[in-house]
Amino acid sequence: MLLAVSPLRIDERESKMQGFSMEESEFVDGNMLDAIDFDDLFVGISDGESLPDLEMDHEILAQFSGSESETKMENEKHSELNTAADSVSDVVLESSGLIPGQEIACKTEEPESEPVVKNPDRSSSKKSSAHSKNPPPGKKKAKVDWTPELHRRFVQAVEQLGIDKAVPSRILEIMGTDCLTRHNIASHLQKYRSHRKHLLAREAEAASWSRRRQMYGTAAAQTEVNPWIAPTMGFPPVTPVPHHFRPLHVWGHPSVDQSLMYMWPKHVAPPHAWPPPPPPPPLADPPFWHPHHQYVPPPGTLFFPQQFPPTRFPPPAAAGLPAAQSVPHPPSDVHPSKESIDAAIGDVITKPWLPLPLGLKPPSINGVMVELQRQGVSKIPPA
């Protein structure tokens, strides 16, 4: 069982008010540090089995700690203990090996503020009997940090059950983690479904685009109409896979071939060069729901957009010029503003970018653009 905690914050007032409760972080007080083998706690259980009777949930630990050593807390210890706790957290953060069946780290955040209990009687009496992992009365539960690994396990469980039969209790069962409650799962599941719904809608929209593009693209090819409007490659076939069976395209989804899931993040400025370079890795740990969280393009992959703004890139043939010279491009020192690029590209950046299979000759616009790139034309004109 792995458990990480946030740095200590001791609320003296609350400690006095609640004789039996402890701050969640107090389990790192000196006695607990002595009593707990953190090598076992934080390195994990390699055989994949958690100790059935050892509730390592932070709340349990807090209660346990509270009963043992609450009054022994010494203020001068806190600073160094904080340091100890921080370093322990770092160890947990670093240990993200993905061993199937292995218990996973649970990062929790300390509640931000004093809780406001609207109905103390209700919360204390009902919840204390309902679940063993209660926060002390009047204490807000620590937020669960859904780490990528946690989320991966969650998605795995959902897939295993099927999206329709995935309910919090079963998911929790399959995930086999002690640091989550059914409520945690339910909350996450709610968000998961919400995002899934949203993404399915987007996929449907993309499929619609694909169908339209196939229609018009075919017509264009037959009649030699402007090939700039609709590149005919790059879309996956519209597969008849039933939606209820399709996984959510989110970070960490085990069933998604991530090599096929390149997305251009909406908030990242579109590329100046062609082909577009992969976006820089996110600085902070982004939410796994976000597309760029899964953007891991292999080196050398060529990209082209699903659609292209024809008005910004007039067909060279229309001007009777060789393709490589007909597309205007700014002097090399021109760097269009983000706003102008956004205006020029429009929602193109919100569409999936797909890898161009090696050895496949790019059609029309892509061939031109690749050729442009080969000839050193690397910038697009400002809007």
323 binds DNA (CB under 7 A): no
Segment 252 to 311, residues that bind DNA, using CB under 7 A: 287, 289-290
Based on CB atoms, which residue is closest to DNA, 13 or 361? Answer: 13
161 binds DNA (CB under 7 A): no
Tokens for 39, please give them.
């090598």
Least CB distance to DNA at residue 288 (A): 8
Based on CB atoms, which residue is closest to DNA, 271 or 291? Answer: 291
Identified binder of DNA from the candidate list 3, 103, 105, 135, rule CB under 7 A = 135
Alpha-carbon distance of 116 to 123, in angstroms, equals 11
124 binds DNA (CB under 7 A): no
Among the candidate windows 12-20, 161-169, 222-230, 351-359, which touches DNA by CB under 7 A?
161-169
193 binds DNA (CB under 7 A): yes
Which residues are registered as beta bridge partners of 108?
Answer: 144
Q: How far is CA 57 from the centre of its chain?
A: 24
Number of residues engaging DNA in binding (CB under 7 A): 36
Instruction: Tally Cβ neighbours within 10 Å of residue 218.
Output: 12
Count the helix, strand and coil residues of the chain and give each as a percent rounded to the nearest 5.
45, 5, 50
Based on CB atoms, which residue is closest to DNA, 250 or 345? Answer: 250
| CA neighbor of 217 nearest in space, from 206, 208, 209, 229 | 229
202 binds DNA (CB under 7 A): no
Which residues are registered as beta bridge partners of 105?
Answer: 2
361 binds DNA (CB under 7 A): no
Tokens 């959902």, located at residue: 158
Alpha-carbon distance of 6 to 9, in angstroms, equals 9
Alpha-carbon distance of 95 to 106, in angstroms, equals 11
Residue 359 Ramachandran class (φ > 0 left, ψ -120 to 50 alpha, else beta):
left
Among the candidate windows 143-151, 334-342, 345-353, 368-376, which touches DNA by CB under 7 A?
143-151
160-166-168 Cα angle (round to 5): 120
Least CB distance to DNA at residue 257 (A): 23
Strands 2-4 and 105-109: parallel
130 binds DNA (CB under 7 A): yes
Among the candidate windows 179-187, 228-236, 305-313, 326-334, which touches DNA by CB under 7 A?
179-187
Segment 92 to 111, residues that bind DNA, using CB under 7 A: none
Least CB distance to DNA at residue 307 (A): 24
C-alpha pair distances (Å), 330 with each of 6, 72, 311, 368, 383: 51, 71, 17, 17, 11
Identified binder of DNA from the candidate list 8, 189, 261, 356, rule CB under 7 A = 189
Based on CB atoms, which residue is closest to DNA, 187 or 232? Answer: 187
8 by DSSP, 3-state: which?
coil
| CA neighbor of 106 nearest in space, from 131, 143, 62 | 143
113 binds DNA (CB under 7 A): yes
Least CB distance to DNA at residue 113 (A): 6
| CA neighbor of 256 nearest in space, from 203, 177, 188, 185 | 203
Among the candidate windows 35-43, 71-79, 116-124, 230-238, which touches DNA by CB under 7 A?
116-124
Identified binder of DNA from the candidate list 78, 182, 351, 379, rule CB under 7 A = 182
Residue type, 284: A
List contacts with DNA (CB under 7 A): 112-113, 115-119, 122-123, 129-130, 135, 140-146, 167-170, 182-184, 186-191, 193, 287, 289-290
